[in-house]
C-alpha cells in the first residue's frame, strides 16, 4: 500500500494561486470616484424599486375602486331605469343636482330649480313688506308646478321629481331660460321662459319633442299648480280678506272661491287662473282654454293673534291635451302687483281680479274714480289726493243732499197739518192715509222725495268702499300720522286685545265716527222733527235715536283694522256733508218762503198722475169695504 506524503509543490501552488487572486483583487479595486458612482447607482436602484412598488400598489387600488364604482353605477343606473324608465337618462347628466339658475331683470330676481324645472324663487325687486323685507311670491318651497303623466311602460311620473337641464340665451332684449327634461339629446320635455325687460308677464311654453312613444297618450296628463301665499301686510285679517283664487272660464266669465275655511269649484274652458294676494298676484294664462279646471282654497289663518307666515293655500289642476302624442302649450305667467293700470293694460280681462264691485259699482270705479284718482295722484301726495277727490265727489252730490234736506224741511213745515188730520180721522186709518197722501202731494213733500236722493248716493258709497282697498297706489304712502294709507294707522298699541276691535288704536276711524255722529245728529234730528208718528207703526223716532249712537260705534270697531285711506275718506266726506247742511239750512233754505210756496201749491188744482189716481181709487174702495164691514 502506497503511503501518502506531504506534497510541498502542491502547497506552493496553492499559495501562488492564492497570491495571484489577492493581486488580482487588489489590482481591480475601484477608485473612490467609482465607489461613489456605485453607491449613487445603488441608491437610485433602491428608489426606483420603491417607486415601482408604490405605483403597483396604486394601480391595484385604482383598479379595485374602478371595479367597485362601475358596479355601483351599474346598480344605480339599473335602479333608475326600473323607477324612471326612459327618463333615467336625465338623472345621469351633470345637471342632475339640486342646484338653481339665477336670472335677474329690472323687475325680478328669479331662481329656476334643476329639480322640477320650475321657479323656486320669485322676488319683486321694487317692493318691500310692511317690515321692509323684500317681497317674495315664491320662496322656500311654498309653491310647486308639476306635470303628472303615465309612460308607455306603465310608470306614473311627476316632473317635480325629475331633473331638468338649464340653458340661458338671448332673443334680442329678451332673456330665454330653457329647462329640458331629457330622454336623450334629441328627445325631451321643455319648459321655456322668455323674460321681457320691464314686464311682469313673461311667456311660458311647455312642449315635448320625440316623446310620442314615451308618454302614454291614453292616460290623462295633468298640470298641478299649487301655492301657499305669504303674508305681506301689517293686518293679517285685512290682507286675508282680499286674498282669494279667481279664474276666467267659458269665454270671459269670471268667478272666485270665496273666504271660507275650505272651498272648491270646477269650471270648463278655463283661460286664466289667479292666486291673488291683497296687493300682489300670480297668474297663469293660456292661449287656448283648458278643457276644465279644478280649484281649491284653504284658509291657513286659524288664529289672528299668532304671527302667521301664510294666509291661504291654493291648488289648481288643469288637463293638458296631447297633439300627435306630444305636448305643445303656449301660456304666460304673471308675477307682480295687483295694480289696475298694469293688469288692465294687458287687455285680457285681468282687471276682474280686483274686487271693484259688480255692475254699476264696478263701472263707477273703472270709469270715474280710478282715472280721477290717478290724475290727482300724478301731481300731488296721495293723502291730499284723497281729500281733493272727496271734496269733488261731495260737491257733485250736493244737489242730492239739497233735495233730501228740502224734502225734510217741507215735511217739518206741514207736520202740524198732518197731526191735525190724524186727530180728525183717528178712528179711520184709511182716511188718515188718504188725506195725508193728498196733503203731501199738494205740498210736494212726499217722503219718497227724500229717499230717492239718498238712494242715488248708495252706488257711489259702495263703489268707494270697494275702491280704496283695491287702490295699489296708496300702498305704503304716508299722510299725517298714518305711515301707510293702505293699512290701519296706529296712535297707540294696547297691552291687550279687544274683541272685534284689535290691539291698537287708530285715529282716523275715531275721527270718522265723531263726524258720523254729528252728521246723523243733524239729519236724524231733522227727520224725527218732520216724521209723524203713526198708530200701529214702530216708533221711528226711537229707532233713529238708537242709530245715532249705534252707527258711529259700529264704524269705530269695523274700520279700526281697515285701510286708513278709507277712514280718511269717510271723515272728510262727513265733515263736508255737515258743512253743506249748515250752508243749505242757514243760507239757502228759507222755511217761511217754503211755507208760502206750499200754500200756493195747495191752492192750485193739482193734476193727478195715473199712479195717484189708481192709489186713490184703491183707497176709496178699501174705505167703502170697511164701511160695509162696519154695518155688518
pLDDT, residue 167, reads 94
Predicted pLDDT of residue 626: 63
131: enclosing H helix or E strand? none
Residues constituting the chain? 632
Cell of 265: 269649484
Q: Which of 161, 225, 192 is nearest to 327 (CA)?
A: 192
394 neighbors 577 (Cβ within 8 angstroms): yes
The CA dihedral of 473, 477, 479, 485, to the nearest 10 degrees, is 70
Shortest CA distance to 270 belongs to which of 243, 251, 244, 298?
A: 251
As given in the structure block, the three cell numbers for residue 435 are: 188725506
Q: What 3-state DSSP class applies to 308?
A: coil
**CA dist 10 → 17, 357, 399 (Å):** 10, 140, 161
Structure confidence at residue 191 (pLDDT): 96
Q: How far apart are CA 569 and CA 590, in angstroms?
A: 31
Residue-by-residue DSSP string for 522-573: HHHHHHHHHPPP-TTS--HHHHHHHHHHHHHHHHHHHTTTS-HHHHHHHHHH
The Cα 562–Cα 472 span in angstroms is 15
pLDDT at 5: 43
Q: What distance in Å separates the CA atoms of residue 492 and residue 505, rounded to the nearest whole number?
A: 5
Q: Cell numbers at residue 236, please?
A: 293679517
Say how far apart CA 624 and CA 453 lie, in whole Å: 36
**Series of mean pLDDT values for 10-residue runs along the chain (632 residues):** 44 49 48 52 56 41 35 66 85 89 93 94 91 90 93 91 94 93 92 94 94 91 94 84 93 88 93 94 94 94 78 94 91 95 93 88 91 92 93 84 72 72 71 70 61 71 87 90 88 85 88 88 61 51 72 85 89 88 75 64 59 62 64 58
C-alpha cell at 355: 274686487
What is the value of pTM for the model shown? 0.77
In degrees and rounded to multiples of 5, residue 165 shows phi and psi of -105, 120
- H-state helical runs in 268-333: none
Residue 554 buriedness (CB in 10 A; 0-12 / 13-18 / 19+): middle
Q: Cell numbers 308618454 correspond to what residue?
A: 215
pLDDT tens column, 127-140 = 988 788 899 999 99
- Cβ burial, residue 271 (10 Å; 0-12/13-18/19+): buried
Task: Look at residue 128 and give its three-state secondary structure.
Answer: strand
Task: Give strand pairing partners of 181.
Answer: 189
CA quadruple 181, 184, 188, 190: dihedral sign: positive
**Residue 292: its pLDDT value, please?**
94
DSSP string of 73-95, one letter each residue? HHHHHHHHHHHHGGGGGGGGSTT
> What sections of 397-428 are H helices per DSSP?
398-424
pLDDT at 70: 45
Burial class (CB in 10 A: 0-12, 13-18, 19+), 500: exposed
Amino acid at each position: 500500500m502506497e503511503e501518502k506524503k506531504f506534497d510541498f509543490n502542491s502547497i506552493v501552488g496553492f499559495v501562488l494561486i492564492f497570491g495571484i487572486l489577492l493581486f488580482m483583487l487588489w489590482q481591480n479595486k475601484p477608485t473612490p470616484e467609482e465607489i461613489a458612482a456605485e453607491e449613487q447607482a445603488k441608491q437610485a436602484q433602491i428608489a426606483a424599486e420603491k417607486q415601482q412598488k408604490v405605483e403597483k400598489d396604486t394601480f391595484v387600488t385604482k383598479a379595485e375602486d374602478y371595479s367597485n364604482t362601475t358596479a355601483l353605477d351599474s346598480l344605480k343606473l339599473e335602479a333608475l331605469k326600473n323607477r324612471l324608465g326612459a327618463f333615467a337618462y336625465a338623472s345621469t347628466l351633470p345637471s342632475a343636482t339640486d342646484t338653481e339658475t339665477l336670472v335677474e331683470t329690472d323687475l325680478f330676481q328669479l331662481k329656476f330649480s334643476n329639480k322640477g324645472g320650475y321657479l323656486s324663487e320669485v322676488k319683486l325687486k321694487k317692493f318691500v313688506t310692511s317690515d321692509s323685507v323684500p317681497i317674495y311670491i315664491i320662496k322656500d318651497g311654498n309653491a310647486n308646478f308639476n306635470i303628472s303623466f303615465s309612460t308607455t311602460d306603465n310608470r306614473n311620473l311627476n316632473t317635480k321629481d325629475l331633473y331638468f337641464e338649464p340653458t340661458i340665451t338671448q332673443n334680442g332684449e329678451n332673456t330665454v331660460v330653457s329647462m329640458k327634461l331629457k330622454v336623450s339629446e334629441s328627445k325631451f320635455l321643455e319648459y321655456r321662459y322668455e323674460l321681457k325687460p320691464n314686464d311682469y308677464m313673461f311667456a311660458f311654453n311647455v312642449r315635448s319633442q320625440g316623446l310620442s312613444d314615451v308618454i302614454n297618450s291614453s292616460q290623462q296628463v295633468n298640470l298641478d299648480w299649487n301655492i301657499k301665499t305669504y303674508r305681506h301686510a301689517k293686518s293679517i285679517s285685512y290682507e286675508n280678506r282680499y286674498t282669494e283664487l279667481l279664474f276666467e272660464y267659458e269665454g270671459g266669465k269670471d268667478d272666485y272661491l270665496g273666504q271660507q275655511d275650505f272651498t272648491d269649484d270646477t269650471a270648463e274652458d278655463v283661460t286664466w287662473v289667479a292666486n291673488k294676494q291683497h296687493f300682489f298676484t300670480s297668474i297663469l294664462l293660456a292661449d287656448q282654454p283648458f278643457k276644465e279646471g279644478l280649484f281649491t282654497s284653504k284658509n291657513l289663518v286659524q288664529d289672528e293673534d299668532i304671527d302667521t307666515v301664510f294666509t291661504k293655500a291654493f291648488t289648481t289642476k288643469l288637463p293638458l291635451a296631447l297633439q300627435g302624442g306630444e305636448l305643445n302649450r303656449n301660456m304666460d305667467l304673471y308675477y307682480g302687483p295687483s295694480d289696475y293700470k298694469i293688469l288692465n293694460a294687458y287687455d285680457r280681462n285681468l282687471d276682474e281680479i280686483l274686487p271693484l264691485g259688480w255692475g254699476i259699482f264696478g263701472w263707477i270705479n273703472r270709469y270715474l274714480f280710478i282715472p280721477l284718482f290717478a290724475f290727482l295722484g300724478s301731481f300731488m301726495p296721495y293723502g291730499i289726493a284723497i281729500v281733493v277727490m272727496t271734496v269733488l265727489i261731495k260737491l257733485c252730490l250736493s244737489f242730492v243732499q239739497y233735495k233730501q234736506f228740502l224734502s225734510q224741511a217741507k215735511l217739518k213745515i206741514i207736520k202740524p197739518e198732518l197731526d191735525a188730520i190724524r186727530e180728525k180721522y183717528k178712528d179711520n186709518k184709511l182716511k188718515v192715509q188718504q188725506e195725508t197722501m193728498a196733503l203731501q202731494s199738494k205740498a210736494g213733500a212726499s217722503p219718497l222725495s227724500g229717499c230717492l236722493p239718498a238712494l242715488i248716493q248708495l252706488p257711489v258709497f259702495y263703489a268707494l268702499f270697494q275702491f280704496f282697498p283695491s287702490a295699489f297706489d296708496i300702498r305704503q304712502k304716508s299722510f299725517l300720522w298714518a305711515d301707510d294709507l293702505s293699512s290701519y294707522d296706529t296712535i297707540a298699541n294696547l297691552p291687550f286685545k279687544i274683541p272685534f276691535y284689535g290691539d291698537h288704536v287708530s285715529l282716523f276711524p275715531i275721527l270718522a265716527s265723531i263726524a258720523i255722529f254729528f252728521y246723523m245728529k243733524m239729519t236724524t234730528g231733522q227727520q224725527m222733527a218732520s216724521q209723524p208718528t203713526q198708530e200701529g207703526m214702530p216708533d221711528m223716532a226711537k229707532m233713529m235715536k238708537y242709530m245715532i249712537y249705534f252707527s258711529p260705534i259700529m264704524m269705530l270697531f269695523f274700520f279700526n283694522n281697515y285701510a286708513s285711506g278709507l277712514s280718511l275718506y269717510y271723515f272728510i266726506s262727513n265733515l263736508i256733508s255737515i258743512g253743506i247742511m249748515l250752508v243749505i239750512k242757514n243760507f239757502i233754505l228759507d222755511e217761511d218762503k217754503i211755507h208760502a210756496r206750499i200754500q200756493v201749491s195747495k191752492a192750485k188744482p193739482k193734476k193727478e198722475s195715473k199712479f195717484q189716481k189708481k192709489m186713490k181709487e184703491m183707497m176709496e174702495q178699501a174705505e167703502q169695504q170697511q164701511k160695509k164691514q162696519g154695518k155688518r
